[in-house]
């Protein structure tokens, strides 16, 4: 937690880097926390987990909902703020994808013609 705070302080000079860092930390937190809650809940169903573990699982569940809300708000903010850049990137990726798909279709057509010519002869 201290390391994360120091990095945010370091990146705070560039707001986009701080937002992206918060986004990555949010993703990692959501990825790590969900299985942890599942394990604690499973242990509690067998009677192995103590009362403090159950309380921790409930707290983690509540904090995950808060984190999801913050995560959605941050994504919405980034999309609204950088929509033009995101659209340009999406257009460029779409053009690249279409070119690759077109080249693959040409290669597939050439290969099928070669196979047909081999079958005929």
Closest CA to 68 of 18, 17, 34: 34
For the chain, how many helices (H) and strands (E)? 4, 0
* Region of residue 56 (left: phi > 0; alpha: psi -120 to 50; beta: else): alpha
Q: pLDDT tens-digit profile of 49-61?
A: 888 888 888 888 8
Instruction: Give the integer Cα–Cα distance in Å for 38 and 17.
Output: 32
For the chain, the structural domain boundaries read: 1-81, 84-121
Q: pLDDT tens-digit profile of 9-56?
A: 666 666 777 788 888 888 888 888 888 888 888 888 888 888 888 888
Q: Provide the 8-state DSSP code for 82.
A: T
Assessment of whether the complete model's pTM goes beyond 0.85: no
């Amino acid at each position: 937690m201290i390391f994360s705070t120091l990095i945010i302080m370091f990146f705070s000079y560039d707001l986009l880097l701080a937002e992206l860092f918060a986004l990555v930390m949010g993703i990692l937190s959501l990825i790590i926390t969900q299985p942890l809650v599942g394990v604690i809940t499973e242990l509690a169903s067998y009677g192995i987990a103590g009362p403090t573990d159950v309380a921790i699982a409930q707290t983690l569940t509540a904090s995950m909902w808060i984190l999801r809300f913050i995560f959605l708000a941050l994504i919405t903010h980034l999309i609204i703020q950088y929509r033009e850049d995101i659209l340009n990137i999406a257009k460029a990726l779409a053009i690249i994808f279409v070119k690759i798909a077109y080249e693959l279709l040409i290669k597939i057509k050439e290969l099928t013609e070669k196979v047909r010519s081999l079958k005929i002869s």
